[in-house]
């Protein structure tokens, strides 16, 4: 019988061996640090996790709750937040988990949330800026900011600054900003904040916002030296969450198909953030960027430039002081 080489791909063995190889690769992708083996307890500590109703944020909040922390789940939807709140309370047996509403794309909402925290909380030991969105369509918020910049960077930047005194008073305290390895593809251009000179192909705007996360975390860490408050940024990995919800069907389909074999689950995606927030070996470590396997990552060249970091941070301070 005459066979061409492409017939290999239609042979049943090809499909079977691909699935087996995929499952092997999937089982090998666990990171080096295991939260379950980390015995750190957070009783008496207060933690805020933004975007805690789903995806990575939900598992970060669950981990803190299991360690006995008072957890504030900062979510934008009361309905979605309540479902996650009850699940986390039930799974952790910790009743000291609470839902507070914040929309990080609205600076008024961020201010109202922060005022509530400052009124209600005596201490704050962990702040995780996890809420974020990718692929948002072109839009300008009521504050006049490009919507991805507002959601992923400006809102979290303002929130952190509003809570800084409380974090300092509660030191030792840790700030963890969830960025992405995509920050390597980002650029700095202050006109982007107002939605100018931006291309909207795939995740290009998202990448810029994630670069700003790393840059400002580095500068914040420098400013916080000696206060007992650390600030680090992380890449969670490629994680099967709802992060692709704003992309078209084809992109989501491909992401999910590849993701089944190669991407992390939400629980696995939470690990690098939990590492930075609770691990003993992270005590005093600040101004670093961590990869999804909890190893020290190399930030993009722009993120390593201290003079640029000062400029970007000061720009964001001026911008947020207007609201
Ligand atoms: N998944 C990945 O592969 C990946 C890779 C690199 C970095 N990250 C980063 O990981 C973080 C978590 O993402 P995820 O993958 O868990 O995505 P996700 O499942 O879509 O969860 C995102 C969370 O952010 C919240 N959020 C979005 N916009 C918000 C806003 N304006 N105000 C308040 N909350 C808002 C969402 O709330 P609603 O549910 O109410 O919309 C949700 O709770 C993000 O910062 C993302 O950039 C993810």
Contacts of residue 252, defined as CB under 8 A and 6 or more positions apart, other chains included, come to 244, 245
pLDDT in tens, 225-261: 999 999 999 999 999 999 999 999 999 999 999 999 8
Mean pLDDT (the chain, rounded): 93
Whether residue 239 is contained in a domain is answered as yes
Residue nearest to atom 5 of ligand 1 (CA): 238
Please say if the pLDDT value at position 27 is more than 70.
no
Whether residue 266 is contained in a domain is answered as yes
Ligand 1 centroid to 241 CA: how many Å?
A: 8
**Atom of ligand 1 minimally distant from the CA of 109:** 32
Rounded Cα–Cα distance for residues 49 and 258 (Å): 28
The pLDDT assigned to 202 comes to: 86
Among 49, 51, 207, 211, the mutation site with the greatest number of ligand 1 atoms within 8 A of its Cβ is: 51
The pLDDT assigned to 322 comes to: 74
As for how many domains the chain has, the answer is: 1
The pLDDT assigned to 32 comes to: 77
Ligand 1 centroid to 85 CA: how many Å?
A: 16
Please say if the pLDDT value at position 1 is more than 80.
no
Please say if the pLDDT value at position 34 is more than 90.
yes
Ligand 1 centroid to 51 CA: how many Å?
A: 6
Rounded Cα–Cα distance for residues 9 and 47 (Å): 51
Residue nearest to atom 46 of ligand 1 (CA): 132
Please say if the pLDDT value at position 294 is more than 90.
yes
Give exposure, 24-63, as e/b (b: 16+ Cβ within 10 Å): eeeeebebebebeebeeebeebbbbbbbbbbbbbbbbbbb
Whether residue 55 is contained in a domain is answered as yes
Among 29, 56, 85, 245, the mutation site with the greatest number of ligand 1 atoms within 8 A of its Cβ is: 56
Whether residue 1 is contained in a domain is answered as no
Q: Is 200 a catalytic residue?
A: no
Whether residue 30 is contained in a domain is answered as no
What's the rounded mean pLDDT across residues 159-168?
98
The pLDDT assigned to 274 comes to: 98
Residue nearest to atom 33 of ligand 1 (CA): 103
Please say if the pLDDT value at position 137 is more than 80.
yes
What's the rounded mean pLDDT across residues 273-285?
98
Residue nearest to atom 42 of ligand 1 (CA): 51
Rounded Cα–Cα distance for residues 53 and 76 (Å): 9
Whether residue 114 is contained in a domain is answered as yes
Domain CATH for 124 = 3.40.50.720
* CA-wise closest residue to 122 among 75, 169, 164: 169
The pLDDT assigned to 24 comes to: 54
What's the rounded mean pLDDT across residues 176-190?
97
Contacts of residue 243, defined as CB under 8 A and 6 or more positions apart, other chains included, come to 55, 132, 133, 134
What's the rounded mean pLDDT across residues 268-288?
98
Sign of CA dihedral 282, 160, 104, 312: negative
Question: Could you tell me the residue range of the domain that residue 282 belongs to?
Answer: 35-320
**Atom of ligand 1 minimally distant from the CA of 106:** 31
Residue matched to tokens 């960027």:
289
Ligand 1 centroid to 319 CA: how many Å?
A: 23
pLDDT in tens, 64-96: 999 999 999 999 999 999 999 999 999 999 999
Among 236, 265, 277, 292, the mutation site with the greatest number of ligand 1 atoms within 8 A of its Cβ is: 236
Please say if the pLDDT value at position 6 is more than 70.
no
The pLDDT assigned to 185 comes to: 96
C-alpha distances (whole Å) from 83 to each of 58, 111, 206 are 11, 25, 28
Contacts of residue 113, defined as CB under 8 A and 6 or more positions apart, other chains included, come to 74, 100, 101, 102, 159
pTM: 0.92
Strands (E), the chain: 46-50, 70-75, 97-101, 126-129, 173-178, 229-234, 289-290
Q: Which residues line ligand 1 (CB under 6 A)?
A: 51, 53-57, 75-77, 80, 102-105, 130-134, 151, 178, 180, 235-236, 238-239, 241-243
Please say if the pLDDT value at position 30 is more than 60.
no
Ligand 1 centroid to 239 CA: how many Å?
A: 11
Whether residue 10 is contained in a domain is answered as no
pLDDT in tens, 126-136: 999 999 999 99
CA 184-311-74 angle, 5° bins: 65
Q: State the number of CA atoms in the 13 A half-sphere of 194 facing the CB.
A: 5
Residue matched to tokens 């992270």:
282
Ligand 1 centroid to 225 CA: how many Å?
A: 29
The catalytic position among 2, 200, 206, 289 is 206
Whether residue 17 is contained in a domain is answered as no
pLDDT in tens, 103-119: 999 999 999 999 999 99
Rounded Cα–Cα distance for residues 124 and 168 (Å): 9
């Amino acid at each position: 019988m005459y066979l061409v080489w492409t017939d290999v791909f239609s042979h049943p063995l090809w499909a079977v061996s691909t699935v087996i190889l995929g499952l092997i690769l999937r089982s090998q992708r666990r990171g080096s640090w295991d939260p379950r083996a980390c015995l750190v307890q957070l009783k008496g500590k207060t933690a805020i996790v933004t975007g805690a109703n789903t995806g990575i944020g939900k598992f970060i909040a669950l981990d803190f709750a299991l360690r006995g922390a008072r957890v504030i789940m900062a979510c934008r939807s009361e309905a979605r937040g309540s479902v996650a709140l009850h699940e986390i309370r039930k799974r952790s047996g910790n009743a000291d988990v609470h839902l507070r509403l914040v929309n990080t794309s609205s600076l008024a909402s961020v201010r109202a949330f922060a005022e509530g925290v400052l009124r209600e909380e005596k201490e704050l030991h962990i702040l995780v800026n996890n809420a974020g969105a990718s692929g948002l369509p072109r839009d300008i918020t009521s504050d006049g900011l490009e919507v991805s910049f507002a959601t992923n960077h400006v809102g979290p930047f303002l929130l952190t600054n509003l809570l800084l005194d409380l974090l300092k008073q509660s030191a030792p305290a840790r700030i963890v900003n969830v960025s992405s390895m995509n920050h390597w593809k980002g650029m700095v251009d202050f006109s982007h904040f107002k939605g100018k000179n931006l291309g909207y192909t795939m995740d290009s705007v998202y990448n810029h916002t994630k670069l700003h996360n790393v840059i400002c975390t580095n500068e914040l860490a420098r400013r916080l030296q000696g206060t007992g408050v650390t600030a680090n940024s992380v890449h969670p990995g490629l994680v099967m969450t709802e992060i692709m919800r704003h992309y078209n069907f084809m992109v989501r389909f491909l992401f999910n198909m590849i993701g089944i074999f190669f991407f992390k689950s939400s629980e696995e995606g939470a690990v690098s953030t939990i590492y930075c927030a609770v691990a003993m070996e992270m005590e005093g470590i600040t101004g670093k960027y961590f990869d999804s396997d909890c190893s020290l990552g190399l930030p993009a060249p722009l993120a390593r430039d201290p003079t640029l970091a000062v400029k970007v941070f000061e720009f964001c301070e001026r911008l947020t002081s207007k609201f």
